[in-house]
Chain A
Amino acid sequence: METLETNGTTPTPRLRDPDFYAGYTRFQIELEFVQSLSNPLYIQHLALNKYLDDPAFIAYLAYLEYFRRPEYLRFLLYPGPTLRALELLQQEHFRKDAVTPALIEAMAREGFEAATSGTTGI
């Protein structure tokens, strides 16, 4: 249909805004994703669905390291487990082993112990 563009050409197709998707900002989505990595069962889910073998995904995980910086760290609700998981995921042998239930359980135990260290225990 005709448009009233004064230059008379057809309008260029507008590129999708890279910082906005489905009603959420890119930062919101990345923040959610990086924090859900703190749950070992989620990591196992990603490993079982072969996401951890995708180079683009691996590069994305490296990109997510920006959450270590203080100005972004302040947004993490689960800072300890998130950063620990991120650190582990940068290592290739961890990504390879993430499918084994034993490793996942060990990770869950480690996270639990780390969170509860310092409380009295018998």
Chain B
Amino acid sequence: MLSQFQASYRRMDQSLQRLTDSIAAYNPSTAAADELVAADDALNEDLTTLIQHQRNVLRIEELKRIAQDNDDRIKNHFRAVAELRKELAAIPSMNTNASARSVSIDELLSYARFISPTTLPPTFRKQDVPAQSLSRTAAAESQPHTANGIATPPLGTHDDAQPGNTARINGSNIGTRALKEEEKAWLDSVASLPFVPWPEQPTIANGALGQIQLMLEQGKDPATLLSPAERVEEEERRRVEEEAERAEEEEKRRRRVEVFDAAGGRKRGREEESDVFDPDA
């Protein structure tokens, strides 16, 4: 490129020199002027190519920069992927013993559905639950503390005000009011829970154990209720016995008929013996 420029510069220079020489010699030659113009044009062309050349150089650099950026980006991605893979490879060593208890998804879902009626209802809001009862019992414990009992010292303050022991049997000592503040708080707290994850007392009472309890209280012996296998055996046994009885009765009747014949048919009119005792027979 540079030599090209140098060549066109030289050419320019030469043509200018020739023209000036010819003008100095009072012999202006138009040919020299044309030559100068041509040299000028050639120079312009060279300049344009130079501009393009520079532009290309810039573009190349920019592209190089972009390529470099992409390369860096790719390297980072690869690095990240390698790290993730390393992490993933590190995890399974914990899970190998969990596979012993693997459960199929269907089983899991069906079990979840099985449990759902006895698990938290979806409308439950925890913030609606009353404050911890422990704070209540803490307040109650500020009162004098004795063992389980009715007519305890807190109520004794009333008794001091009223004369004599007959005051013990007043309204405040009867029934649940005789419970200490603590015990009342305790009863309240367990009963006031909006939801409990276990069967309540009525549910238990309606179950198998409850029914057995009922039967025992009614005096029926639960052992008399037979299992299906036993029931079948029982029926068979009864059938066999019935057949045996019938067979016996048939035999008896036959024997009676024989005797009846052998005895000359005295009782010919009668088909069967009557059960009623006949002293004349």
Residues of A within 8 A of B (CB): 3-4, 14, 16-17, 19-25, 28-29, 32-33, 35-36, 38-42, 70, 74, 77-82, 101-102, 104-105, 108-109, 111-112, 114-116, 119-122
Tell whether, in the assembled complex, residue A36 and residue B127 are in contact, meaning their CB atoms are under 8 Å apart.
no
Given contacts A21-B212, A105-B133, A115-B119, contact A39 B201 (CB under 8 A): yes
Asked, given contacts A36-B209, A77-B115, A120-B126, whether A19 binds B227 with beta carbons under 8 Å apart, the answer is yes
Convert B101-114 into 0s and 1s, putting 1 for each residue whose CB lies closer than 8 angstroms to a CB of A.
10100010001001
Partner of B204, one of A4, A39, A82, A111: A39
The residue on A at minimum CB distance from B190 is A108
CB within 8 Å of A: which of B184-204? 186, 189-190, 193, 195-201, 204
Shortest 4 CB-CB contacts between residues of A and residues of B: A22-B222, A121-B126, A20-B227, A38-B198
User: For A20, what are the chain B residues with a Cβ–Cβ distance below 8 Å?
Assistant: 226-227, 230
How far in angstroms is the closest Cβ of chain A from B23?
A: 102
Given A41-B190, A121-B126, verify A32-B208 contact (CB < 8 Å).
yes
Number of A-B contacts (CB under 8 A): 128
Contacts of A105 on B, CB cut-off 8 Å?
A: 133, 186, 189-190
Main secondary structure of the interface of B (DSSP, over half): helix
Whether B229 lies near A17 (C-beta < 8 A) is: yes
Query: Chain B: which residue is nearest A31 at the CB level?
Result: B208
Query: How many of chain B's residues have a CB under 8 angstroms from any CB in A?
Result: 46
Interface string of B125-138 (1 = CB under 8 A from A): 11101001100000
From B117, B189, B209, A29 is in contact (CB under 8 Å) with: B209
CA gap between A109 and B135 in the complex, in Å: 13
The reply to whether B207 and A17 form a contact with Cβ atoms under 8 Å apart is no
Assuming the contacts A20-B230, A22-B222, A77-B115, asked whether A111 and B209 have C-beta atoms less than 8 A apart, the reply is: no
For the complex, give the distance between the alpha carbons of A20 and B117 in Å. Answer: 29
Closest chain-B Cβ to A116's Cβ sits at a distance in Å of 6
Across the two chains, which residue of chain A brings its CB closest to B182? A101
